[in-house]
Structure 1
């Protein structure tokens, strides 16, 4: 099922995933219009789209996703929404009210606008972290959508993303202003990597500061399965096609899907090394402290920060939940998305790795210069 002639809105269009999705839509679908919603849409990004836009109209909507009038204007006349925008925060420097406002309230504003403006399809970009891991660090190996896992979410990020996902799926089947029905689904990508990934750039910078030795914060056996950004964009396109297809729309609507690919399972820290080893980086052999001691240090840091909170807000560089996240085996299959959405990873691990390393190589001199200038 093609999206030819459709009007779509992409929130977070200038983010890591948003840019890839906009490019993919221009390359593969002769859409009537693509609306790019973000707090700021970079002129340079718009220039890169000129050669591949064809007859598709590109519209820019700069503003706050919590502004209902603004969002409603952006949704007017659209047929599909790709909702990618959110605040991503695992160290928790962002105030909870701000994160809740963007991640939950912003999603609710979009859903309400869809109903008011009779938008028929809504794809929500969720995250693996709505699943866990739990505070015990209980592993999941090759999990599926049917996996039962006991977890009380502790990160503000994962809690707000979970609530936003639930609201999205609960909105499936809502009656639209024109009498139609809204169809929704949620995608839960594993750790997204690729050319343009700011997390990889961050770890490269830390490695440069440490004399080209990458910091180890994950046990080697704590395997996760990263997913290439290009494949996540493909999954979003397939979800939109599925929600448009009247034969499978009802079967897909109201469901969530894990999105991974054929990237070999590896720990977070070792994955950084896999991508940076050819650029001259080595990696620490051991954690900076034994895992149990690392938890104790984080516990006392958290207590200290709470005691100081009435006077000053200090964010510890590490917390127990982050240590758990980095050291829990947590892998998931994409087979249900393959079966029901028709999702197949387009980029092999070899190609994804090559593209990512080439981008990191292009950024390495800039990072070295930036760090040199800041010393």
Structure 2
């Protein structure tokens, strides 16, 4: 099942992103016999280009700059490709991005990429989904150690989760589609839980807020609202394991058209307590309770959303927090990776202690510049 990717041409979309760049790094480090790696993004980051340059002498690496909604660009990018790992997406937790933009990138871009893959005889397609395709739902119904067969009343109240859910459905429906060369497309979807680690934009945002709050993280989630954090290195590792396994006919029969929750052995804790666990060695604390009782915060979020709606014809007002965000960070929502373990042989590569240590070191490295930057604002 772990025969490697020797001779394979692999395209990674969203390669400049938090997860995508880590997948690119891991593929280049672990798959020395990879035939070719194409790293694609709308904007190629300096870090991605440096990573590509570092491995040029060992593996053929191409950096491709273009939009996932551009069919002609996708045609050029997918010619001769065997495997696509599709991480490209726009993430929105606050409602700053319009529904049209979310759907055009996350859903329509994915649909176009699937069509191009069929036209170019791309045999394998791995989609980076999200825990938010299932919830938490608008009622805040909890899940404890959920699994892929769980029946959950998934009434979503936010466009990002809906755009990812529809895109995932398109990916899984495409499994088995006939290719022009007589083969068939094999697809699967990976659903990471909340991802933390070096380079996380959300963790940097929380760090900035803690710096401005005299070294104390704001309490955004109740202590008893347990989340299921997963280290970014383990998410990238899961993609590599899936890519290796999906080439094996026996494993592919199990994986084809299926989705998998991806998490690791990080202790279940609230989002706020995760921030504290990662930053306490830097002298950072965390508030003991929410700024206001949860029902009051929920009422305020409702009022701000109503004001935003009423002002929409005149000005764009984005509330600092929404009901969706409150539910997301204050609902116990945890899963198990047993099915990924059983079907594709996934085991977390990095322990919680190692993940915590390297993430803390990254936070320490950016703190001085973040303090200086925040002083100037």
TM-score, normalised to structure 1, is 0.98
The answer to whether residue 321 in structure 2 is matched with residue 321 in structure 1 is: no
For structure 2, the residue ranges without an aligned partner over 5 or more in a row are: none
The answer to whether residue 235 in structure 2 is matched with residue 235 in structure 1 is: no
The answer to whether residue 173 in structure 2 is matched with residue 141 in structure 1 is: no
Deviations 1:50-109 (A, max 9, x none): 444553111011011000110111011000000001000010111111110000000001
- Which of residues 16, 19, 27 in structure 2 aligns to 1:17? 19
Deviation at 1:343, TM superposition (A): 0.4
Tell me if the contact between 1:26 and 1:53 (Cα under 8 Å) persists in the aligned partners.
no
The answer to whether residue 110 in structure 2 is matched with residue 107 in structure 1 is: yes
Residue 250 of structure 2 aligns to a residue whose secondary structure is: coil
The answer to whether residue 76 in structure 2 is matched with residue 65 in structure 1 is: no
Deviation at 1:283, TM superposition (A): 1.1
Q: Aligned residue for 1:179?
A: 182
The answer to whether residue 153 in structure 2 is matched with residue 150 in structure 1 is: yes
d(CA) in 1 for partners of 2:141, 2:50: 47
Root-mean-square deviation (CA, aligned residues, Å) is: 1.0
Deviation at 1:233, TM superposition (A): 0.6
d(CA) in 2 for partners of 1:182, 1:48: 30
Residues 35, 49 of structure 1: alpha-carbon distance in 2 compared, 3 angstrom cutoff: closer
d(CA) in 2 for partners of 1:21, 1:211: 35
d(CA) in 1 for partners of 2:93, 2:284: 25
Q: 1:324-335 to 2 correspondence within 5 Å?
A: 324-335=327-338
Tell me if the contact between 1:32 and 1:55 (Cα under 8 Å) persists in the aligned partners.
no
Residues 247, 152 of structure 1: alpha-carbon distance in 2 compared, 3 angstrom cutoff: same
d(CA) in 2 for partners of 1:311, 1:211: 37
Q: Aligned residue for 1:371?
A: 374
The answer to whether residue 362 in structure 2 is matched with residue 359 in structure 1 is: yes
Q: Aligned residue for 2:44?
A: 41
Deviation at 1:49, TM superposition (A): 4.0
The answer to whether residue 276 in structure 2 is matched with residue 273 in structure 1 is: yes
- Which of residues 61, 85, 88 in structure 1 aligns to 2:91? 88
Residue 15 of structure 2 aligns to a residue whose secondary structure is: coil
Q: Aligned residue for 2:208?
A: 205
Residues 269, 73 of structure 1: alpha-carbon distance in 2 compared, 3 angstrom cutoff: same
Q: Aligned residue for 1:284?
A: 287
Deviations 1:112-160 (A, max 9, x none): 0110000000000000011101122111000000111102111110000
Q: Aligned residue for 2:199?
A: 196
Tell me if the contact between 2:55 and 2:61 (Cα under 8 Å) persists in the aligned partners.
no
Residue 269 of structure 2 aligns to a residue whose secondary structure is: coil
Q: Aligned residue for 1:308?
A: 311
How many residues are matched? 374
Aligned structure 1 segments of 4 or more residues deviating by more than 4 angstroms? none
d(CA) in 2 for partners of 1:260, 1:195: 17
Residue 168 of structure 2 aligns to a residue whose secondary structure is: helix
TM-score, normalised to structure 2, is 0.97
For structure 1, the residue ranges without an aligned partner over 5 or more in a row are: none
Tell me if the contact between 2:89 and 2:105 (Cα under 8 Å) persists in the aligned partners.
yes
